[in-house]
Amino acid sequence: MHGLCHFEFPSPDLKKSQEFYAKLLGWKFEDIGDPNYVAFSTPEGPGGGIEKADVVPGSNIKVYIEVEDIPSTLVKAEELGGKMIKEKTLISEEHGFWGMLADPCGVQIGIWARK
């Protein structure tokens, strides 16, 4: 029981972040009555929240989201106003691949895939 159960990250624009992650990863968002916070659930794993921040700090905590296909996810992220930070890169045959993207607000999110 030491798996990721909840994660949060900052965004200067909650609406823009919600639209981006809903379209990119299929996350569902829930208004919890706080104008500075929105909760989300993911299709198969832990959920979390996005907290309103005037300034997005540097990437101190890295979160990785499992995706089916890293290259197509990076292309879709760019189509949605995000940016590719790191292309698909082999970790090892045993541990798969990783990549990194930034959402339209500059928040960096890692992505991981077995193949």
Strand locations in the chain, DSSP E?
A: 6-11, 28-31, 37-41, 47-52, 64-66, 83-92, 96-102, 108-113
pLDDT of residue 29: 96
pLDDT of 35-67, one tens digit each? 999 999 998 888 899 999 887 766 556 788 999
pLDDT of residue 41: 93
pLDDT of residue 55: 78
pLDDT of residue 38: 94
List, in order of start, the domains of the chain with CATH numbers. 6-113 (3.10.180.10)
pLDDT below 50 — which residues of the chain? 1-2
Instruction: Give the global pTM.
Output: 0.80
